């Protein structure tokens, strides 16, 4: 659709919608399917250096307010993922972003180096998952650790990479700037935020892992604030993929106005049929009504 084109680093996207990591990105077939359904770019499920089983069921609950999940980073490992990413790059006809995760700073570099063999258009570095930590905290919990991860990845690959950050921090803008200073080319904001559901009748937590990541509509205000603060911190040139609670064209418009260059869509892929095309159609209608010609015109009045 005219006017919806955007750019992330050197990647040209036909529209700003990006399939978020962890949602139907388990293999090449599903990534290609999302591209055919209208996504401007697609992100794979995070892979680690070695295969990982993840948590036991129940791992997810869906309510009208939000989704809560604790999958536990189940994945086949980077060696198998290389083949899936290669196939997706060949068949998707849109930019493919390979998501990686690790359990040490050194391993982030190793996974980045290995996945680079598949030649994804971009790497997304999941430093925000609570299942990975350093001394009991997420790698993105403080600027020093996040920067160390970014530096390890920067030294391991020539492919542009985006650091995925958590909202469960005091100053996400400061952490984003530290990542950029260490070599990150872009920022993905945000990962899910921590939450919990309780079954009062069973007197137990609903999820087997007790705690999980909150996504869906409830996350949007948190994501908007994070993206706005990151844009203020890193300036106008660093691309931001704004992710969290995007399910309509107006959600996407708001996220871009807050400072994002593109919008990650995750839970809404499950909740809404043809979500990518629907979001783009609604964005186009709003822009036509208000006289906007290009996405960069969508800015907040300060």
- Give, as one character, the DSSP assignment of residue 154: H
Give the E-state strand segments of 71-221 in sequence order. Answer: 96-100, 122-126, 161-165, 186-189, 193-196, 198-199, 204-205, 211-215
Q: What are the structure tokens assigned to 242, written together?
A: 């704004």
Closest C-alpha among 224, 155, 159 to residue 186: 159
Q: Does residue 232 contact residue 173 with C-beta atoms inside 8 Å?
A: yes
Q: Name the E strands within the chain.
A: 6-8, 11-13, 17-19, 41-43, 60-62, 67-69, 96-100, 122-126, 161-165, 186-189, 193-196, 198-199, 204-205, 211-215, 240-243, 262-265
Q: With contact defined as beta carbons under 8 Å apart, do 238 and 165 qualify?
A: no
Residue 237: other Cβ atoms inside 10 A: 6
The catalytic residue among 47, 129, 179, 280 is 129
d(CA 203, CA 96): 43
Q: Which of 251, 269, 196, 221 is nearest to 25 (CA)?
A: 269
Residues 6+ apart with CB under 8 A from 290: none
Encoding tokens for residue 193? 């935020």
Whether residue 129 lies in the annotated active site: yes
User: Which residues are known to be catalytic?
Assistant: 129
């Amino acid at each position: 659709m005219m006017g919806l084109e955007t750019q992330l680093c050197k990647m040209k996207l036909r529209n700003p919608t990006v399939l978020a990591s962890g949602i139907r990105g388990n293999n090449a077939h599903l990534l290609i399917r999302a591209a055919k359904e209208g996504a401007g770019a697609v992100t794979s499920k995070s892979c680690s250096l070695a295969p990982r089983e993840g948590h036991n069921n129940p791992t997810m609950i869906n309510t009208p307010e939000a989704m809560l999940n604790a999958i536990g980073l189940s994945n086949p490992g980077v060696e198998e993922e290389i083949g899936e990413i290669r196939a997706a790059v060949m068949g998707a006809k849109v930019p493919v972003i390979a998501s990686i995760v690790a359990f040490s700073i050194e391993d982030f570099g190793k996974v980045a180096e290995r996945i680079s063999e598949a030649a994804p258009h971009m790497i997304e570095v999941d430093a925000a998952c609570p299942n990975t930590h350093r001394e009991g905290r997420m790698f993105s919990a403080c600027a020093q650790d996040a920067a160390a991860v970014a530096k390890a990845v920067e030294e391991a690959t020539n492919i542009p990479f985006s650091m995925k950050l958590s909202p469960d921090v005091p100053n996400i803008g400061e952490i984003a700037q530290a990542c950029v200073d260490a070599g990150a080319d872009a920022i993905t904001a945000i990962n899910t935020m921590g939450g919990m559901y309780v079954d009062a009748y069973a007197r137990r937590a609903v999820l087997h892992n007790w705690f999980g990541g909150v996504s869906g509509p409830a996350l949007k205000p948190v994501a908007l604030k994070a993206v706005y603060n990151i844009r203020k911190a890193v300036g106008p040139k660093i691309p931001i993929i704004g992710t969290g609670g995007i399910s309509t064209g107006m959600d996407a418009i708001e996220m871009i106005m807050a400072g994002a260059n593109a919008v990650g869509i995750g839970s809404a892929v499950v909740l809404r049929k043809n979500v990518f095309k629907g979001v783009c159609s609604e964005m186009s209608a709003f822009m036509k009504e208000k006289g906007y010609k290009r996405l960069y015109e969508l800015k907040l009045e300060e």
